[in-house]
Structures are given as structure tokens and as C-alpha cells.
Amino acid sequence: LGSSSTGSHAMKSAIDAWDNLFDSLPLPTFILGIDMRVRKANRAMVQALGMTNRDECINKQCYKLAHNSASPHPECPLMTAMERNTDVRSIIDEPHMNGTYLFHVTPVESDTGFPNSIICTACNITALRDSHRLLSENLMRLSLAQRAGEF
């Protein structure tokens, strides 16, 4: 009786430690089933979605939460990742999440060699995108000025 109690206490401690670690990740992260339903969402993802309760995410399709749509986003990397059984990235302008995100999807293999879950992170790259646009505009102006002989 004592060893069973010790074992379940150790298991609960390990689960709590993993939950704390997952929740501490700074990148918004989902753990999804192959049906695209959320099994787990970390604090950063809940905040990125503008939600307050992570339980609102559980068992909902990721595309309904992240894209506010009835079907996966056309640029969603998940299906490609599942078909290739490898990680895939995609940049998506996401108004529902107020920015541009680099979605990185990684299938997690089961014992059979086929994915049984997916890790999806969403890195907000809005500031990087805006800086890139500003730099591109400035380079265009410089190029036009050079052609006009202003330099």
C-alpha cells in the first residue's frame, strides 16, 4: 500500500513539474491531437488568443481558436507536417491574434512510427515584419534617389 501511494505521489509530482515547465514556455504553444483538437495550451497561448481560461481551449479545433475560422488556414503547416512526419513552419498574418506569427508544427511519433500528437508554437513576428517593411521602403527610396542622381 505504501509503495503504491509513493508511486502515485511521484507520478503526480512529475506531472505537476511538466505542467509548470510547459506553462513557463514564453512561446504560445498548443499540444494537439491528430484531429487538430487542443489537448493542452500554455499560458502564453491563452494570452495570445485573448483568453483568460485555458480550459476554454481544450477539445476545440486549433483553427477555430487561432484563426477564428471554420476550417484550417490555407497556409497552415499542420497537414504538411503530418504527411511528411517532419516539422514545418509557415508565416501567417493573423488578425484574430493581432499580428503576424511564425507557426511551427512538429509531429510527435507514437510507437508505430506515425504521429499521434502535434506540438504547435506560434511566435509573434509582427515587429520583425514591420521592421522588414520599413527597411524595404527605405531601400526603395534610396534606390530611386540614386537613379535620379540625388546621390
| Threshold 0.95, pTM exceeds | no
Assess whether pLDDT exceeds 70 at residue 24.
Answer: yes
Angle 32-33-39 from CA coordinates, rounded to 5°: 55
526603395: which residue's cell? 140
pLDDT of residue 130: 80
Q: What is the DSSP string of 75-111?
A: T-SHHHHHHHTS-EEEEEEEGGGTEEEEEEEEEEE-T
Assess whether pLDDT exceeds 60 at residue 1.
Answer: no
C-alpha 32/C-alpha 39 separation (Å) is 5
Q: Which residues touch 142 (CB under 8 Å, ≥6 apart)? A: 151
515584419: which residue's cell? 129
Three-state secondary-structure class, residue 10:
helix
Q: How far, CA to CA in Å, does 83 sit from each of 78, 106, 122?
A: 9, 11, 20
pLDDT one-digit tens code per residue, 50-98? 999 989 999 999 999 999 999 999 999 999 998 898 999 999 999 889 9
Buried b (16+ CB within 10 A) or exposed e, 31-68: bbeeebebebbbebbbebbeeeebeebeeebbbbbbbe
What is the pLDDT confidence band of residue 36, given thresholds at 50, 70 and 90?
A: very high
Output 78 or 136, whichever has higher pLDDT: 78
